[in-house]
């Protein structure tokens, strides 16, 4: 597919076929040549055919192939002009996201107790594909409260403080959640997984701030050089996966009623204001609240272990999701419009002065948390005025090898030894899981961040390097 280079970090896919808007890809030539670019570009074009899509079908620098939408895809549909919602624009791990916690401990003080800390975190943080969690809910009634209130409910039950909620997207809970739209099967899958990492690319990392690029923003976020931090990356576990599965089936079945056709059945969609669209959005918001509570519980477990091992506390920097569809108001062609903004493998990046920011962040913008691959750097960014793609940016490094390819190309024991030589202690990962998540399986996260910043999506605040990893 032909790409027209508008700037070194912006490429356009011209309208063709049934595309209603062009495609806009934020990347560099180097990133586009790493991994398989053709399939996700075809998905960018497919997304551009969705009814009501506005401005462009966007792809972030960490773009790679996904279900329906590319991972790293952003699309906004106009609610009042026939706009649709597509579960493929959110994905199966609803509200998967990242939480960053900061301490007042320095790297030198951590060194002699790092192994002890990682052993403690490995024991206290449930991880892996099956059951096991920080909090086993009593039943559907307690689950309904959690699905409605997210992190707020966890804090009410003693797992955190109100200060944590101030630094959460949506203050810890997505509004308009409808727990009744989450199936009984999804609820049963989620009852014993609240407060667990899961598997795949999810992790808990102990990190050290190595570079600060924006002193004012870093100070507002509570970050400084040589500081020990903890980053948590996880999502909505089996409950979110089942919720997506349930609603995709219903929506696909009922598309003909609305006269809708899509070039890929994985883009199954429904008008935002239809019964099916509202049902999905209500269930998605409830699953998102489960994900927020999940990270809140993991924070509580990690904080307890950190306090016991180091004698220091962990404070919330921010919690942000990268798999969500939200109805937001944006200016388009000089008028304010109500848009359903899909961000799949893409992160909201609010600019300074945005009304949704808490007072302490209003001057500098919203923290954006971009994890690297295991053994490589992670970044903290912030939103910028006039940020493109409806104030969205990248969410990570982005795969350039499938899990199968990575497992075939990597010897787990050698990788573990290499990471240890780099000063990174790994706990919890199976040999297969470790190989699948090898750094070589991912794009260069620094190049991804450079393209995001160069494309006008965000700006860098700080860089963090891992010293310890707990993997599923």
395 part of the active site: yes
Cross-strand bridge partners of residue 101: 230, 316
* Residue 205 marked ligand-binding: yes
Q: Which of 64, 258, 395, 404 is catalytic?
A: 395
| Domain boundaries defined on the chain | 4-400+442-471
* Residue 354 marked ligand-binding: no
Spatial distance between the Cα atoms of 291 and 202, rounded to a whole number of angstroms:
13
* Residue 322 marked ligand-binding: yes
Question: Which CATH architecture is the domain 4-400+442-471 placed in?
Answer: Alpha-Beta Complex (3.90)
pLDDT at 141: 92
pLDDT at 150: 98
Q: What is the pLDDT along the chain (472 residues), one digit of tens a residue?
A: 789 999 999 999 999 999 999 999 999 999 998 778 899 999 999 999 999 999 999 999 999 999 999 999 999 999 999 999 999 999 999 999 999 999 999 999 999 999 999 999 999 998 887 667 888 888 889 999 999 999 999 999 999 999 999 999 999 999 999 999 999 999 999 999 999 999 888 999 999 999 999 999 999 999 999 999 999 999 999 999 999 999 999 999 999 999 999 999 999 999 999 999 999 999 999 999 999 999 999 999 999 999 999 999 999 999 999 999 999 999 999 999 999 999 999 999 999 999 999 999 999 999 999 999 888 999 999 999 999 999 999 999 999 888 889 888 888 888 888 888 888 999 976 888 888 888 888 999 999 999 999 999 999 999 999 999 998 7
Closest to 287 in 3D by CA, of 152, 142, 395, 190: 190
* Residue 118 marked ligand-binding: no
CA angle 24, 29, 33 (to 5 degrees): 105
Closest to 378 in 3D by CA, of 268, 230, 279, 253: 230
* Dihedral, 361, 222, 229, 224 alpha carbons, nearest 10: 130
């Amino acid at each position: 597919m032909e790409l027209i280079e508008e700037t070194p970090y912006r490429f356009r896919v011209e309208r063709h076929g049934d595309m209603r808007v062009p495609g806009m890809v934020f990347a560099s030539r180097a990133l586009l040549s790493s991994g398989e670019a053709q399939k996700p570009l075809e998905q960018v074009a497919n997304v551009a055919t969705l009814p009501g899509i506005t401005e462009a079908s966007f792809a972030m620098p960490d773009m790679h192939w996904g279900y329906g939408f590319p991972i790293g895809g952003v699309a906004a549909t106009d609610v009042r002009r026939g706009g649709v919602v597509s579960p493929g624009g959110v994905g199966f791990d609803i509200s998967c996201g990242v939480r960053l916690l900061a301490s007042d401990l320095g790297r030198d003080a951590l060194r002699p107790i790092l192994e002890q800390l990682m052993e403690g975190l490995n024991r206290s943080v449930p991880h892996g594909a099956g059951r096991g969690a920080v909090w086993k809910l009593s039943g559907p009634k307690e689950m309904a409260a959690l699905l409605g209130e997210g992190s707020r409910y966890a804090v009410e039950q003693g797992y955190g403080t109100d200060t944590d909620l101030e630094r959460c997207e949506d203050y810890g809970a997505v509004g308009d959640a409808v727990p009744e739209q989450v199936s009984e099967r999804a609820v049963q899958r989620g009852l014993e997984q609240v407060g667990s990492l899961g598997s795949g690319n999810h992790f808990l990392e102990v990190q050290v701030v190595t570079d600060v690029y924006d002193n004012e923003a870093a100070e507002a976020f509570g970050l400084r050089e040589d500081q020990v931090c903890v980053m948590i990356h996880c999502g909505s576990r089996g409950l979110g996966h089942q919720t997506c599965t349930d609603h995709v089936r219903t929506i696909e079945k009922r598309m003909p009623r609305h006269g809708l056709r899509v070039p890929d059945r994985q883009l199954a969609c429904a008008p935002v204001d239809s019964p099916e669209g509202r049902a999905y959005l209500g269930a998605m918001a409830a699953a998102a609240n489960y994900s927020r509570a999940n990270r809140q519980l993991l924070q509580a477990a990690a904080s307890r272990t950190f306090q016991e091992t180091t004698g220091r506390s962990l404070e919330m920097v921010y919690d942000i999701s990268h798999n969500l569809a939200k109805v937001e108001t944006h200016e388009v062609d000089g008028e304010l419009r109500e848009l359903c903004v899909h961000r799949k493998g893409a992160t909201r990046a609010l600019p300074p002065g945005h009304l949704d920011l808490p007072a302490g962040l209003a001057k500098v913008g919203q923290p954006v948390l971009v994890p690297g691959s295991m053994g490589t750097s992670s970044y903290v960014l912030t939103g910028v005025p006039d940020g493109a793609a409806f104030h969205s940016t990248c969410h990570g490094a982005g795969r350039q090898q499938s899990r199968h390819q990575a497992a075939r190309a990597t010897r787990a024991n050698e990788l573990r030894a290499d990471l240890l030589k780099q000063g990174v202690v790994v706990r919890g990962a199976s040999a297969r899981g470790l190989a699948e998540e090898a750094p070589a399986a991912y794009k260069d996260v620094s190049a991804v961040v450079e393209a995001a910043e160069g494309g006008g999506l965000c700006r860098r605040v700080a860089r963090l390097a891992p010293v310890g990893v707990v993997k599923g």
